[in-house]
Amino acid sequence: MQLFKKTKKLELKMDEFLDTVSEAGIIFQEGIKHYLNNKTDRFENQIKKIRQFENRADNLRRVIEQQLYTETLIPESRGDVLALLETTDNVINQAKETLLEFSVEKPQVPQVFHEEVLHLTDHVVHAVDEMTKAIRAFFKDPKAVRNYTHKVYHYESEADRASEHLKRAIFSSEKLTLAEKIHLRYFALHIDTIADRAEDVADRLGIYTIKRSI
Amino acid sequence: MLLLLYLSGGLFLGWSLGANDASNIFGTAVSTRMVKFRTAAIIASLFLILGAVISGAGTSQTLGELGSITMIAGAFMVALSAAFTVLWMTRLGLPVSTSQAIVGSIIGWNLFAGNSIDFYALSRIVFTWIFSPILAAIFAWLIYLIVTKLFSVARIHLFRLDSYTRISLIAVGAFGAYSLGANNIANVVGVFIPVVPFTDIEFVGITFNSAQQLFLLGGIAIAVGIFTYSKRVMLTVGKGLVKLNPQTALVVVLSQALVLFLFSSRGLEGWLAAHGLPTIPLVPLSSSQVVIGAVIGIGLAHGGKGIQYRILARIASGWVSTPVIAAIITFFALFVLQNVFNLKVY
């Protein structure tokens, strides 16, 4: 019975970890909106929140990893689960880093690009959301993983397209200096990288799911 | 003391059985670290002894039908020759089973003593050897399909599945050990039943007859084999020849336990007879061959890919070569014992 209690606790921690990652995506989106709308206090508040979420995710990841090792749980798939946790953690780290860069570097984003930045952010957050659904499916219903990973790939390529579109618009603008263009380009790249990180997780999930089914 | 010396042939067979065959039950569980070796060894020993003492009589009777050895020196040499055959053939890397060796040895004794061989009993035994891996494959195929269907419907969390698997591996392992004890104890001490001078013992209101006392001794020898040597074999089998994951190991062990149980249970035999159904012969089997049958069953459930038919041919060759080699060794060993040591062997 002790064994069931332990695994139940671990399941809850894993759910909490994924909730944290998923919520961090929403906080990131809100943060970008507040930044573009010049609501500095609210934007800084989102940064505070995403830092807390990133810390919480780190702590949960460590606790889960330690428990998996000290109690020798799931010996066959332990390595896969640990790698999955690490790569998922990269997603939330990237979201936090990107918001922090907005706070530190304060890029000037002309009104004309707002819609495209929000569009890009929207695709990125969708990719993260589908990624967390895919991870949940990996633990409970491996056959359903593909239903979610293909959506991750879809949103990731949409994010790539939106990012490219944004960069083209930035560099074809006649009102911006080259320095401003390069500065803005990096922010398009940073936001898009979050979707790339989600894609990394989906790639791993694809292999781990096949391994689980053998 | 002399009695113990005579029994040593059988006890050595028991040790070898514990060292090798416990891995068929707990090999994957231990090598994948799902179950600790200590836990596996305690459960395997306990249930093997219980299976031997409670249900070991059925298969022993079948061996008795093939040849009831009349002198203890003969029984000693039959058991020792079987043990030597197993050891020698294992060293040469040939497929071998204790069950097939002991049957060959008994035939060797029959030939030496000039007794006629009961071909009906022999054909039943050989048919069972051929049939048992096939039955294990059918069981494994069915159980595998049911288990995978259940898993996909129940949507059990990976972490919880881990707990369920650990507990099931222990429960099914206990059943497997009980069945192995019931089925294989005849190989270890069966030939001594007609010749040991034991009298009935009463312990906490239960009477243990001489055969059960022998089974207990054999069971202890098997347990010693498990504790002293099986860990090495478990780690080799679990990671070497047939690599299974814990869930497929569960299916294999359950199929093996069911097959061994079917061919050892007097209760089931009585029930079938009472209902006018054909009975299942109670025959000592090779648990390794049953396991290979079960693994093939899982391979078939996967569409039959990756099955090495060469292994099947090797098993089939063992059905003939092991008894023949054991019979020849026993014949010559009995000749030496009778003519050099002047001991009566029949």
Residues A135-187 pLDDT 10s? 999 999 998 999 999 999 999 999 999 999 999 999 999 999 999 999 999 99
**Residues contacting B206, CB < 8 A, separation 6+:** none
Write out the two tokens for B6.
């005579």
What's residue B242's pLDDT?
58
Domain ranges of chain B: 2-339
Query: How far is it, in rounded angstroms, from Cα B3 to Cα B72?
Result: 8
In this complex, do A73 and B162 lie within 8 Å of one another by their Cβ atoms? yes
What's residue B243's pLDDT?
66
* Average pLDDT rounded to a whole number, residues B112-138: 92
With beta carbons less than 8 A apart as the criterion, state whether B249 and A76 touch: no
What's residue B197's pLDDT?
80
What's residue A214's pLDDT?
60
Which of A37-51, B136-150, B306-320 bottoms out in mean pLDDT, i.e. has the lowest? Answer: B306-320
Query: How far is it, in rounded angstroms, from Cα A53 to Cα A114?
Result: 26
What's residue B175's pLDDT?
97
Query: How far is it, in rounded angstroms, from Cα B7 to Cα B190?
Result: 11
Write out the two tokens for B90.
């294992």
Query: Which residue(s) pair with B201 in the sheet?
Result: B208
In this complex, do A7 and B163 lie within 8 Å of one another by their Cβ atoms? yes
DSSP sequence for B122-136: HHHHHHHHHHHHHHH
Judge whether A9 is closer than 8 Å to chain B, CB to CB. Answer: no
* Average pLDDT rounded to a whole number, residues B215-236: 90
**Ramachandran class of A106: left when φ > 0, alpha when ψ lies in -120 to 50, beta otherwise:** left
Taking the CA of residue A139 and the nearest CA in chain B, the distance in Å comes to 5
N- to C-terminal Cα separation, chain A: 29
What's residue B247's pLDDT?
87
Residue B241 has pLDDT above 80, yes or no: no
Number of domains in chain A: 1
pLDDT band for B45, please (50, 70, 90 cuts): very high
Sign (positive/negative) of CA torsion B128, B133, B135, B139? positive
What's residue B295's pLDDT?
87
What's residue B240's pLDDT?
45
DSSP sequence for B165-176: HHHHHHHHHHHH
With CA atoms as reference, report the closest residue to B51 among B99, B3, B18. Answer: B18
Query: Which residue(s) pair with B207 in the sheet?
Result: B202
Mutate to test the interface with A, among B38, B39, B150, B163 (most CBs of A within 10 A): B163
Q: Please give the residue of chain A at the shortest CA–CA distance from B164.
A: A4
Q: Which domain holds residue A119?
A: 2-213
- For A:195-214, CB contacts with B below 8 A are 212, 214
Name chain A contacts of B155, Cβ cutoff 8 Å.
140-141
In this complex, do B155 and A140 lie within 8 Å of one another by their Cβ atoms? yes
Q: How many CB atoms lie within 10 A of CB A112?
A: 11
What's residue A213's pLDDT?
72
Write out the two tokens for A62.
């460590």
Average pLDDT of chain A, as a whole number: 94
Q: Please give the residue of chain B at the shortest CA–CA distance from A76.
A: B32
Q: What is the CATH number of the domain that holds A33?
A: 1.20.58.220
| Residues B202-222: b if buried by 16+ CB within 10 A, e if exposed | eeeeeebebbbbbbbbbbbbb
Q: Please give the residue of chain A at the shortest CA–CA distance from B162.
A: A74
Q: How many CB pairs under 8 A join A and B?
A: 44
